[in-house]
Amino acid sequence: MRSNSSEKGGPKLHAFTYVTAFVLLFWLPFVKVHYDLYHDVNEKRINFTHALLTLFNAVNVLICIWEMSLFVHQNEVQKTYRKLKKEVEKRRGGGDLPTPLCLFEKITLREALSLKHWHVIWSTYALLDPSYVQTQSWGFWVDTGNGFVTIAPTIAMTVGATYDLSRYGVSPLAYGLIGLIFNYQMMYGTVIYFSNYTYQRYYERASFGSKMVVLFANVIWIVFPVWWMKVCFEIVKDGGSFRGTSLR
């Protein structure tokens, strides 16, 4: 176990299994409620826009929790990073990431529920971008800041996209404006992070596969916030109405 966890008892599953279960728990109930409230009885299909945007939000909630671990357990991040770096450097045959990856290691439920365990995510990613073991770096602060600041609005965006906010005294116009600002902030932070990553030329020592991991992760956090901004702009443009937007 690379995460320095002393947990040994209890049944173990791949970490990715717990990750998948968490995302589904924060996604499928909202898709079901939205379907029950708004589906067209003649078509009987889920709303594509709502399903994908709330899936992104469910993943973002998980990432926020991991980002909290990056801040709270930074000493562990650095310690495990040094261990993984030595392990990778000793291995013959190339590769810049450990095998198996931390998401495919088996862990107990108690470990999965521990904030400390997930520091290993950042120890591993730091092999591709050492910013995450440098507490003075942009990458460290933008992600730890996002972890604590954006988890609440992420959940609020999903709730607002699913339920009729006006029935609870919440203005859809305010929802749209907050959504525009919030998602612009996420998109902007990602663009600056990726610009720093390329400016520092961290990609030069990465394998093609690792480059694709970094690229894919950053593209997601640009494309989906921009999509959210488009939807929120529709709400604002219509004077604070969900009618006619792709969420309904």
Asked whether the predicted pLDDT for residue 6 surpasses 50, the reply is no
Does the pTM surpass 0.85? The reply is: yes
Instruction: Give the model's pLDDT for residue 238.
Output: 81
Structure tokens at 37: 């409230």
Residue 106: which H helix or E strand, with range?
strand 106-108
User: Tens digits of per-residue pLDDT, 172-188?
Assistant: 999 999 999 999 999 99
Task: Choose among 85, 131, 142, 120: nearest CA to 2.
Answer: 120
CB 102 within 8 A of CB 5: no
Q: Directed axis angle between helix 28-38 and helix 151-162, to 10°? A: 30
User: Tens digits of per-residue pLDDT, 121-160?
Assistant: 999 999 999 999 999 998 999 999 999 999 999 999 999 9
Residue 12: which H helix or E strand, with range?
strand 12-14
Structure tokens at 233: 């702009």
Quick one: DSSP state of residue 247? Answer: T
Average pLDDT over residues 34-58: 87
